[in-house]
Amino acid sequence: MSRQHVPDDRRGGATRSLMARLAALGSKPRSRLGFAASATVATIAGTWVASLELVKAASAPSTPSIIAFDIAAQPLSSALDAFSAVTGLQLVYDGALAQGRRSNAVFGTMSPQEALRGLLAGSGLMPVRGSDAFTVIPSDAAGPPKQTLAGLMPYLGAMQASLASAFCRLPETRPGSYATTLEFWIGPSGQILKPHLFGSTDPARDQAIVRLLGDLSIQHPPPDLPQPIIIAIGSRPPAETGDCAPERGGAPAQARARHD
């Protein structure tokens, strides 16, 4: 799973980047996905990514109790990406919190919560366990912002499921053989606006993705949804991730959103 950072000054103003990575799509638990979504209030790590704590609308992903970790000390954002890839769990955090911070190394067999605490030890940040995701916040942070994030998770999970289903329907856009990062806005009635790709997959596929997004409508967004949404699509094949299965219609992904 990978994340591309879009500089805040690209839009000529100080913005707070938030990434959300969804580790599961649809109604059944998934270990990892190719898609991730993010919204502007926090950052989530997973296969599709968004900057808000995204939650699967239908059901919570299964959480392995014990996992073997081998994550080196590195920039915190990279370490959180690695944690999400290993565990298949969503992470939500404000992208600004990760800037200039480094993680601790985490090696050995332990629970995801123990590993995440180890990564963050001494950083001034702490993990908060939600129903199906971890939110990373300052150690002295108050509670109300977590409620804001939690309220947006059902919508973001449903959004990811709609996008994954749409991408899996077309041979040109079906995940597994390419990786890219997308940016778009969601209009008041659920229409996808101003779709943009950061980096090319190939000209024909690029056009197919932009056309798919431009023709797609999803649930109308809540008024407090941070935008734009940034989604990173990983190259893990559906046969490996279990995405795009006939009964699911899902696809792997990763997304992030920004607050302008």
Q: Is the pLDDT of residue 12 over 60?
A: no
With respect to residue 138, please indicate whether it lies within any of the assigned structural domains. Answer: yes
Per-residue pLDDT at 63:
52
Beta-carbon count within 10 A of 99 CB: 12
Residue 81 lies inside a defined structural domain of this protein: yes
pLDDT at position 71 is 92
Per-residue CA distances from 191 to 91, 159, 161, 186 (Å): 27, 11, 15, 6
Q: Please indicate, yes or no, if residue 233 is contained in any of the structural domains.
A: yes
- Does residue 220 lie in a domain region? yes
Residue 148: pLDDT band by 50, 70, 90 thresholds?
low
Q: How many domains are there within the chain? A: 1
Of the candidate ranges 112-121, 146-155, 167-176, the one whose mean pLDDT is the lowest: 146-155
- At 151 the pLDDT is 75
Q: Which residue has the higher pLDDT, 7 or 74?
A: 74
Residue 243 within any structural domain of the chain:
yes
DSSP code string of the chain: ---PPPPGGGGTS--EEEEEEE---TTS--S--SBEE--TTS---SSEE-SS----SS-PPP--S-EEEEE-S-BHHHHHHHHHHHH--EEEEEHHHHTT-BPPPEEEEE-HHHHHHHHHTTTTEEEEE-SSEEEEEETT--SHHHHHHHHHHHHHHHHHHHHHHHHHHSTTT-TTS--EEEEEEE-TTSBEEEEEEES-S-HHHHHHHHHHHHH-B-SPPPTT--S-EEEEE----HHHH-TT-TTT----BEEEEEE-
- pLDDT value of position 212: 92
Domain range for 122 is 15-259
Query: Is residue 30 assigned to a domain?
Result: yes
pLDDT band per the 50, 70, 90 thresholds, residue 149 = low
- φ, ψ (nearest 5 deg) of residue 158: -65, -40
Rounded CA gap, 185 and 43, in Å? 17
The 10s digit of each residue's pLDDT in 165-222 is 899 889 888 888 887 777 888 999 999 998 888 777 788 999 999 999 989 888 888 8
This prediction's pTM = 0.48
What is the model's pLDDT at position 7?
Answer: 30
DSSP-assigned letters across all residues of 140-161: T--SHHHHHHHHHHHHHHHHHH
Q: Is the pLDDT of residue 9 over 80?
A: no
Q: Which tens digits make up the pLDDT trace of 36-52? A: 444 333 333 333 333 33
* Most confident listed range (30-34, 87-91, 115-119): 115-119
Q: Cβ distance 187 to 240 under 8 Å? A: no
Structure-token pair, residue 1: 């799973």
Burial classification of residue 250, based on how many CB atoms lie within 10 Å of its CB (0-12 exposed, 13-18 middle, 19 or more buried)? buried
Length of the chain (residues): 260
Look at residue 211 in the predicted model and tell me its pLDDT: 92
Residue 23 and residue 61 in contact, taking contact as beta carbons nearer than 8 Å? yes
Residue 139 lies in a domain: yes
Q: How confident is the model at residue 141 (pLDDT cuts 50, 70, 90)?
A: low
pLDDT value, residue 162 = 87
- Maximum average pLDDT range among 152-161, 185-194, 225-234: 185-194
pLDDT band at 76 (very low <50, low <70, confident <90, very high): very high
Asked whether residue 9 is domain-assigned, the answer is no
Cα-to-chain-centroid distance, residue 203: 25
